[in-house]
A and B are shown apart, each in its own frame.
Chain A
Amino acid sequence: MKMLIELAHFALILAAVVAVVQMIIPMIGAQTDRRNWMALAEPAATSQVILVGFSFAVLMWAFVQSDFSLALVYQNSHTAKPLLYKISGVWGNHEGSMLLWVLILTIFGASAAWFGGGLPEKLRARVLSVQAAISVAFYLFILLTSNPFDRLAVPPLNGLDLNPLLQDPGLAFHPPFLYLGYVGLSMAFSFAVAALIEGRVDAAWARWVRPWTLAAWVFLTIGIALGSWWAYYELGWGGFWFWDPVENASFMPWLIAAALLHSAIVVEKREALKSWTILLAILAFGFSLLGTFIVRSGLLTSVHAFANDPERGLFILIILGVFTGGALTLFAARTNTLEAKGIFGAVSRESGLVLNNILLAVSAFVVFVGTIWPLVAEMAFGRTLSVGPPFFDAAFTPFMVALALALPFGSMLTWKRGSLRSAWLKLWPFAVLAIALGTLVYALQSGRSALGPVGLALGVWTVTGALVDLTTRTGSGSLPERMGRLTRLPGADWGKATAHIGMGVTIFGVAAITAWQQEDIRIAQIGAPYDVGGYQFTLDAVETVEGTNYISTLAQISVRDRIRVVATLSPEKRFYPVAQMPTTEAAIRNGFLRDIYVVIGDAQAEGAYTVRVYIKPFANWIWGGAILMSLGGFMSLLDRRMRLAAGAAKRRKAAA
């Protein structure tokens, strides 16, 4: 069985060789019109999936079996660890996560080969060739700097265990979703570069790029939401976003991908904004690579501790430079060949989407500048400084507010030439409603900031705006007629409304929790009740309990409202002996309107304990909104028109 690991290593090397072939031959084939050269791309892409899939399966098997002759398993696993975390341990470290990264990369590439029957032959060959070039870079990176199959001459008896913070269901699935998102954007990149080489971008091209970008964006949304949700319940004070460099690294591609999604619609429907869309496609993947660089190089101090290594950082910097730089150079050389056909007026759906793109791209740029500024300031001006949440809150938020304000208008305008007046005629009652609700809440809350009311007004405005847009699509007529049409609206319309509602919900959730959170930190005596935010809390008992691979200080806290016991919560403080690390496990009573969040702290004199209690209003709306956004994206993906190109291919085959 030990042979398997050597075989897996060999399979990875072989996959790299196949990728080199797939990078060169189909591209030459496309340039010189050789059909059989181009045809090589598809079997090559499939072979890559099989080879890397085998490699990855063996690594996973080694983790499950706790094969400590592998250095990676020794460093990141332990026999006492639950099975789920043995498996998630495969990508809970640098080497394994890079292997997962290339596995996803090859699967995306092969999908273009498998489902790309409707693509023009040359475009497909070029896309697969560019995709293979990206694979080659990452194979080299793994094989030369981060080999997951390194062996130990003398296998130790047991491993060093996975970082306890990572032993969590939320975090087990956070990285795979992020990688699906990051790597999914490589498809948009490959399509963009292939189109630049071909010198042609048309509606069909956009129709092909959109589902890939949409899928990547949905995955990124889920991945970011999972990470944020994890931070909320794991880090012990219920923070959900910290503007940490690594968070920003995932947020920048998300923002750019969101812009790309919208501009690709304009290319598809109106054949305008072509160069801009290509640029966004390049930047989206560029930011993904930049994110990888930030995470793996350790250049920027972050709470995300990966095994940092300057050599690896340099390697990824080279990959980033070659691909982004190369693509941008190609873009500069070829962009004037992309002629816009569609003409549109200053007030039109197209202009609305241009504004959306400007706001999203500028906000991504603000995040970018803030993230790298400490580096720039140190190298260029000799100033050691920090850029933290207060900067981002101040510099980023205005653009999101503008986006939310403009969204209902933009989505209601018609293509080519719209009328703000007719949009306003449908929207004004809801603007009044939003402002009225905001004012009411402002009056009710005494002496607090305007953040909550403004967030509420924005949320109401965005959500009702999306609903008005949806009902407008049913046209005129009697209510039953319109209801009937509503159910028959295409998936994309429902997806658009759902995603926009999700954005409104998230905006409200973030504003509400930030503005209205209540906090109480005290030394609590066992059995002595006290009040926080309309609830009565009692620390009933504290005991020491032994878990599978940790020891826990387990508290029991009962929560009462005026009438009855609302919840009995059991916050824990765990200690993982193998990793020598403590973690807090907050106990949370989730609710639609508020979360009750309690944390047990250290033992104090006379059997008392430090207890932290938070009332977090509308906390779940933050992730609820993210779920709605990704659901919206998913609904659009299912739209028949999104698959039209694939359908056309099938019909062609049937006719032949």
Chain B
Amino acid sequence: MLRLFALLVVLAAPVWAVEPHEMLDDPALEARARVLSMGLRCPVCRNESIDESSATLAADLRVVLRERLAVGDSDAQAVDYLVARYGEFILLRPDTSGANRVLWAAGPLLFLSALFIGWRTVRRRPEPVVESLSAAEQAKLDKILRN
């Protein structure tokens, strides 16, 4: 009984990522769709692209994306179409608008400033150390010299 039950569930198991019947006949168009879908996040999954995800919504989005490409949308238009409906949350590559500039610039800026500081530190010749006397020693010396 358990076995039968399990078998039924196996047959009803979720689909795994891109399915053959979703794929477009035109290989060039399909290749574009694959590349685009790798950059789009599945909105209901934990952290997967729609290309990897087995969720039903991901499968639907894969089909919608292909439909857009099939009617002649450019890559940007097809992606915009989905972003307009699901928000920028689905972009795995965040855009460079507004505050996101901080995200993109953070690494390069830190690298340049680290190089600058590193270079300054390395180039800095140590000052010849002038051993000056402490106040007490100076007083003692003055005393000796006075005598």
Contacts and interface: CB of A to CB of B under 8 A. Distances in A.
Interface string A333-363: 0000000000111100011001100110111
B37 interface: no
A301 B43 CA distance: 11
6 contacts: A301-B46, A303-B46, A369-B106, A377-B99, A599-B16, A610-B20
B110 A391 contact: no
B93 A388 contact: yes
B100 A394 contact: no
B107 A577 contact: no
Interface of B: 2-3, 5-7, 9-11, 13-21, 23, 38-39, 41, 46-49, 52, 87-94, 98-100, 103-104, 106-107, 110-111, 114-115, 118-119, 121-123, 126
A56 B8 CA distance: 41
A544 B7 contact: yes
B92 A386 contact: yes
| Closest 9 A/B residue pairs (Cβ) | A388-B92, A390-B93, A366-B107, A358-B114, A582-B13, A362-B111, A381-B99, A369-B106, A551-B6
A575 to B, nearest CB: 5
Given A396-B107, A602-B15, 8 more contacts: A350-B122, A354-B118, A361-B114, A386-B94, A522-B20, A544-B7, A575-B10, A610-B19
A343 B87 CA distance: 55
A601 interface: yes
A391 B13 contact: no
A399 B90 CA distance: 27
A385 B89 contact: yes
B107 A373 contact: no
Nearest to B124: A343
The dominant DSSP class at the B interface is helix
Given A237-B52, A370-B103, A391 B10 contact: no
A391 B93 contact: yes
Interface string A304-325: 0100000000000000000000
Nearest to B5: A577
Contacts of B111: 358-359, 362, 399
Interface stretch (A41-49, A60-68, A239-247, A630-638): A239-247
B56 to A, nearest CB: 14
The dominant DSSP class at the A interface is mixed
B34 to A, nearest CB: 9
Contact of B92 (A301, A383, A389, A610): A389
Contact of B88 (A244, A355, A383, A395): A383
B9 A546 contact: no
A414 to B, nearest CB: 15
A365 B106 contact: yes
Contact of A384 (B6, B48, B89, B99): B89
A446 interface: no
A301 B7 CA distance: 32
A577 B2 contact: yes
A388 B121 CA distance: 36
Contact of A237 (B10, B17, B21, B93): B17
A553 interface: yes
A385 B94 CA distance: 7
A603 interface: yes
B92 A551 contact: no
Given A346-B123, A365-B106, A575-B9, A390 B92 contact: yes
Contacts of A354: 118, 121-122
A362 B91 contact: no
Contacts of A522: 20
A149 to B, nearest CB: 30
A580 to B, nearest CB: 7
A521 interface: yes
B123 A386 contact: no
Contact of A386 (B6, B7, B9, B90): B90
A522 B19 CA distance: 8
A575 B121 CA distance: 60
A575 B6 contact: yes
Given A370-B103, A521-B18, A362 B110 contact: yes
B118 A377 contact: no
B101 to A, nearest CB: 11
B10 A388 contact: no
Q: Which of A390, A523, A580, A603 has the most C-beta atoms of chain B within 10 angstroms of its own C-beta?
A: A390
A546 B4 CA distance: 12
A55 interface: no
Contacts of A380: 99
